[in-house]
């Protein structure tokens, strides 16, 4: 059975953690679509010796391979910023569209997390979630991740980076980040991971029931 879970939301709100956990729980395949944009951003930076060229980025997006998604350094600060810049280029998004739709169409269920999954990539998804958290909470979570990885950053830098990335992701013309009308809003500000995953699990179980009834009825 095809079954698609779309999880969108701003950076560090917990969507990746939730996506991974529910994919494992239901035995669905998981695609972190942010990795696609990160891989394009990194390759574009590498080819431009640190400078970003939009035209080159679109070509790179068309030639992306699975190995590119496992490159080192995809989570670093420079690449993160580059990802959000190349993600605003319509040709880059277009080049990555088919791959994401094919991934979603696989039998056995798929969870995709990103910014435009419920609105653009899979508007017919069976379950849609939009995960948010307060800026302060997201910055705290991201800071602790970065410090664990040995990066030398402060809370204020992380907060400013998150805010400018959110503004770029929500303000762009091409597939801006926004909540789909039929998405469930999940605010994780006051929620521990387990509680957030439980809430998402319940939403997905209800959608699975509906999908099974559609098939049997
Ligand atoms: O999710 P993550 O923070 O790894 O995404 C990195 C960047 O990739 C985002 O800031 C956003 O600009 C872009 N992105 C996107 N659409 C997606 C997933 C990520 O534009 N579906």
121-153 per-position pLDDT tens digit: 999 999 999 999 999 999 999 999 889 988 899
pLDDT band, residue 52 (cuts 50/70/90) = confident
| Cβ-based neighbour number of residue 3 at 10 Å | 21
Q: Which atom of ligand 1 is nearest to the CA of 84?
A: 12
pTM: 0.96
Q: Which residues contact 186 (CB under 8 A, 6 or more apart)?
A: 18, 129, 130, 131, 132, 196, 199, 200, 203
Q: Which of 73, 81, 24 is nearest to 51 (CA)?
A: 81
Q: Which atom of ligand 1 is nearest to the CA of 33?
A: 18
Three-class secondary structure of residue 74 per DSSP: coil
* Cα–Cα distance measured from residue 194 to residue 178, given in angstroms and rounded to the nearest whole number: 25
Nearest CA to ligand 1 atom 3: 11
* Cα–Cα distance measured from residue 154 to residue 68, given in angstroms and rounded to the nearest whole number: 29
Going along the chain from its start, the domains and CATH numbers come out as: 4-212 (3.40.50.300)
Q: Which of 19, 34, 163, 179 maximizes ligand 1 atoms within 8 Å of its Cβ, making it the mutation to test the pocket?
A: 34
Q: Which atom of ligand 1 is nearest to the CA of 117?
A: 21
Nearest CA to ligand 1 atom 2: 34
How many angstroms separate the alpha carbon of residue 138 from the centre of ligand 1? 15
Q: Which atom of ligand 1 is nearest to the CA of 80?
A: 6
Residue 32 has pLDDT above 80, yes or no: yes
Q: Which atom of ligand 1 is nearest to the CA of 121?
A: 21
Residue 190 backbone phi and psi in degrees, to 5:
-105, 15
| Cβ-based neighbour number of residue 167 at 10 Å | 11
According to the model, what pLDDT value does residue 1 have? 82
pLDDT band, residue 107 (cuts 50/70/90) = very high
C-alpha distances (whole Å) from 85 to each of 22, 72, 88 are: 29, 19, 6
Four-point Cα dihedral 56, 83, 169, 30, nearest 10: 120
Q: What is the DSSP code string of 150-199? A: T----HHHHHHHHHHHHHHHHH-SSS-----TTPEEEE-TT--HHHHHHH
How many angstroms separate the alpha carbon of residue 81 from the centre of ligand 1? 10
pLDDT tens profile 53-105: 888 999 999 999 999 999 999 998 889 999 999 999 999 999 999 999 999 99
pLDDT tens profile 147-192: 998 889 999 999 999 999 999 999 999 999 999 999 999 999 999 9
Burial of 102 (0-12, 13-18, 19+ CB in 10 A): exposed
Entry field: residues in the chain: 217
Ligand 1 residue neighbourhood (C-beta within 6 Å): 11, 33-34, 37-38, 83-84, 87, 114-117, 165, 169
Mean pLDDT along residues 30-40? 98
C-alpha distances (whole Å) from 79 to each of 34, 70, 71, 110, 216 are: 11, 14, 11, 26, 47
Q: Which of 37, 82, 96, 172 maximizes ligand 1 atoms within 8 Å of its Cβ, making it the mutation to test the pocket?
A: 37
């Amino acid at each position: 059975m095809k079954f698609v879970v779309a999880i969108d939301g701003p950076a560090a709100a917990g969507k990746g953690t939730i996506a991974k956990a529910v994919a494992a729980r239901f035995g669905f395949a998981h695609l972190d679509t942010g990795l696609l944009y990160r891989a394009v951003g990194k390759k574009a930076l590498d080819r431009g010796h640190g400078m970003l060229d939009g035209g080159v980025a679109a070509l790179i997006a068309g030639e992306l391979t699975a190995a590119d998604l496992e490159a080192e350094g995809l989570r670093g600060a420079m690449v993160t910023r580059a990802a959000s810049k190349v993600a605003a280029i319509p040709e880059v998004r277009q080049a990555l569209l088919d791959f994401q739709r094919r991934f979603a169409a696989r039998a056995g269920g798929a969870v995709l997390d990103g910014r435009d999954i419920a609105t653009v990539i899979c508007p017919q998804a069976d379950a849609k979630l939009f995960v948010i958290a307060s800026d302060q909470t997201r910055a705290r979570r991201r800071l602790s991740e970065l410090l664990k990885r040995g990066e030398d950053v402060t809370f204020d830098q992380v907060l400013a980076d998150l805010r400018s990335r959110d503004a770029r992701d929500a303000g762009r013309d091409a597939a801006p980040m926004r909540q789909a009308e039929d998405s469930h809003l999940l605010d994780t500000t006051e929620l521990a991971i387990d509680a957030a995953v439980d809430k998402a699990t319940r939403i997905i179980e209800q959608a699975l029931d509906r999908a099974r009834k559609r098939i049997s009825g």
